[in-house]
C-alpha cells in the first residue's frame, strides 16, 4: 500500500556541471512526478525572454546618410556592415547601461570585433568580421550601445535618436539556447521521481549561472503579486537556509568525523561540538587549540575535507549567520 502524503517531496539536491565558460548544465532533484517540467518550462521561458544583455541600438557613420549608402574604400556597403555589427556582442563596463563609443580606422586593414574593445566596452565575440578597408579608406563611426532585455525593433528606437544616427534592430538576449530534459531518479526504491537537467548556453556577456540566477529573480518577482493579494506567507530567508543541505552537515556533531580519541578530546575540552565550528575557524585558530599537536591537526583537516568542507572555508553569508545562531544556542 502506498504511503499517504500531505505534502509533496521537496527537492534537496542541486548540482552544476560546467561544460565550458559559456555553457553549463544545472540539475535539481528529486521532484514528484510532473513537478520537474512544471518548473523547468517557465524557467526556460524566463531565460530566453528576460535575461539582461547589451546590443548596439544605433550607429552614426561619417559620410553615410542611411543604411543603403556606402563608404569609399570599404568593401562592404552599409547594409552589410550593419549586419556584421549585429553579430558582434558587446558588454558595457563599469556598470554602465548606455554608452556612445567612437571609432576610427584607416586602411588597408580588416576590422574585427577585437578592434572595438575600449575602456567602455568589452567584445565577447572578438573574431567576428566587421569590415574590410583598402589603402584609401577611412572609416569613422559612433555606436550607441544600451542594456536591455528581449528584442526591440529599430522603429521603436528611431524617435529617440539624435540626427545622423541609423537605428538598429536590437537583440539584447545573451542566452543563446536554453533546453531541458527530465530524467527518472530512484528515491527509497521508488523510480518515479524526477530530475530536471537544464542546459544553458550564453554568448559570453553573462555566465550561464548568472543567467539562471536572474531568471529565478524574475520568476519570484512575477509570483510575488499572489502573495500580496491573497496573503500567502512566502518562506523567509531563515526558513530557506534551514533546509540548506550544507547547514545540516555543518551542524552535525564532531562524532561523525570519526576522529581518534586524542583529537576528539582536544576539541571536546575546548567546547567545540559541531563540525561547522571547525569550518569557521582559520587554520591558525585550529592550530592554537589547547594541546592539539600537528598530527591531530592534520587528522582533523583531513576528516573535515572528507566531510565536504575545509578549515577556514568561505561559506555563504546566510549560512554563516544561521550556523552562528546554532552555535550560540548550543552554548546557551
What confidence score (pLDDT) does residue 6 get? 80
**Separation CA 192–CA 201 (nearest Å):** 29
| Whole-angstrom distance, CA of residue 62 vs CA of residue 70 | 10
- Give residue-wise pLDDT tens across range 265-307: 888 888 888 888 888 888 888 888 888 888 888 899 888 888 7
Kind of pairing, strands 13-20 and 23-31?
A: antiparallel
% of the chain residues with pLDDT over 70: 92
DSSP characters for 110-168? EEEGGGG--SSEEES-TT-EEEEE-TT-EEEEEEEEEEEESEE-THHHHTTSPTTPEE-
Taking only the tens place, the pLDDT of each residue in 46-90 is 999 999 999 999 999 998 888 888 899 999 999 999 999 999 999
Quote the crossing angle between the two packed helices 208-230 and 35-50, to the nearest 10°.
110
Phi and psi angles of residue 92, each rounded to the nearest 5 degrees, phi first: -70, 145
| pLDDT surpassing 50 at residue 208 | yes
Termini Cα distance of the chain: 45
Nearest to 180 by CA among 30, 10, 45: 45
| pLDDT value of residue 85 | 95
Domains, the chain, ordered by start: 13-51+175-234 (3.30.1360.10), 53-171 (2.170.120.12), 245-331 (1.10.150.20)
Beta bridge partners of 73: none
Q: What is the pLDDT of residues 153-207, one digit of tens each?
A: 999 998 888 888 999 999 999 999 999 999 999 888 888 899 999 999 999 999 9
| CA–CA gap between residue 152 and residue 45 (Å, rounded) | 17
pLDDT at 303: 87
Pairing of strands 90-92, 121-123: antiparallel
Among 147, 169, 145, CA closest to 156: 169
C-alpha cell recorded at residue 213: 540566477
pLDDT category of residue 126 using cuts at 50, 70 and 90 = very high
Grid cell in block for residue 315: 561559506
Count of other CB atoms within 10 angstroms of residue 296? 21
Query: What is the three-class DSSP state of 98?
Result: strand
- The pLDDT assigned to 332 comes to 55
User: Does residue 98 have a pLDDT over 90?
Assistant: yes
pLDDT for residue 235 is more than 60: no
pLDDT at 241: 47
**Measured distance CA(171)–CA(56) in Å, rounded:** 8
pLDDT above 60 for 237 = no
Amino acid at each position: 500500500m502506498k504511503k499517504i502524503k500531505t505534502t509533496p517531496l521537496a527537492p534537496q539536491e542541486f548540482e552544476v556541471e560546467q561544460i565550458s565558460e559559456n555553457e553549463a548544465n544545472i540539475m535539481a532533484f528529486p521532484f514528484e512526478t510532473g513537478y520537474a517540467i512544471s518548473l523547468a518550462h517557465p524557467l526556460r521561458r524566463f531565460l530566453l525572454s528576460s535575461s539582461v544583455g547589451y546590443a548596439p541600438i544605433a550607429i552614426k557613420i561619417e559620410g553615410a546618410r542611411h543604411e543603403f549608402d556606402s563608404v569609399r574604400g570599404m568593401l562592404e556597403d552599409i547594409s552589410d556592415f550593419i549586419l556584421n555589427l549585429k553579430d558582434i556582442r558587446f558588454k558595457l563596463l563599469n556598470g554602465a547601461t548606455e554608452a556612445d563609443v567612437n571609432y576610427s580606422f584607416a586602411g588597408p586593414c580588416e576590422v574585427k570585433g577585437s578592434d572595438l574593445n575600449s575602456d567602455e566596452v568589452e567584445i565577447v565575440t572578438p573574431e567576428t568580421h566587421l569590415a574590410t578597408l583598402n589603402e584609401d579608406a577611412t572609416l569613422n563611426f559612433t555606436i550607441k550601445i544600451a542594456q536591455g532585455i528581449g528584442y526591440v525593433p529599430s522603429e521603436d528606437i528611431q524617435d529617440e535618436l539624435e540626427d545622423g544616427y541609423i537605428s538598429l534592430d536590437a537583440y539584447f538576449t545573451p542566452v543563446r539556447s536554453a533546453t531541458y530534459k527530465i530524467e527518472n531518479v530512484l528515491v527509497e526504491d521508488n523510480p518515479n521521481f524526477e530530475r530536471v537537467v537544464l542546459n544553458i548556453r550564453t554568448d559570453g556577456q553573462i555566465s550561464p549561472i548568472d543567467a539562471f540566477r536572474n531568471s529565478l529573480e524574475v520568476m519570484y518577482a512575477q509570483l510575488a503579486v499572489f502573495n500580496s493579494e491573497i496573503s500567502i506567507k512566502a518562506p523567509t530567508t531563515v526558513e530557506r537556509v534551514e533546509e540548506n543541505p550544507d547547514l545540516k552537515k555543518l551542524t552535525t556533531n564532531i562524532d561523525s568525523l570519526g576522529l581518534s580519541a586524542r583529537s576528539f578530546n582536544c576539541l571536546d575540552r575546548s567546547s567545540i561540538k559541531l563540525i561547522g565550528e571547525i569550518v569557521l575557524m582559520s587554520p591558525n585558530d585550529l592550530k592554537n587549540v589547547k594541546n592539539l599537536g600537528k598530527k591531530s591537526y592534520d587528522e582533523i583537516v583531513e576528516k573535515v575535507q572528507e566531510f565536504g568542507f575545509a578549515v577556514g572555508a568561505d561559506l555563504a553569508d546566510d549560512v554563516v549567520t544561521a550556523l552562528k545562531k546554532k552555535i550560540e544556542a548550543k552554548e546557551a
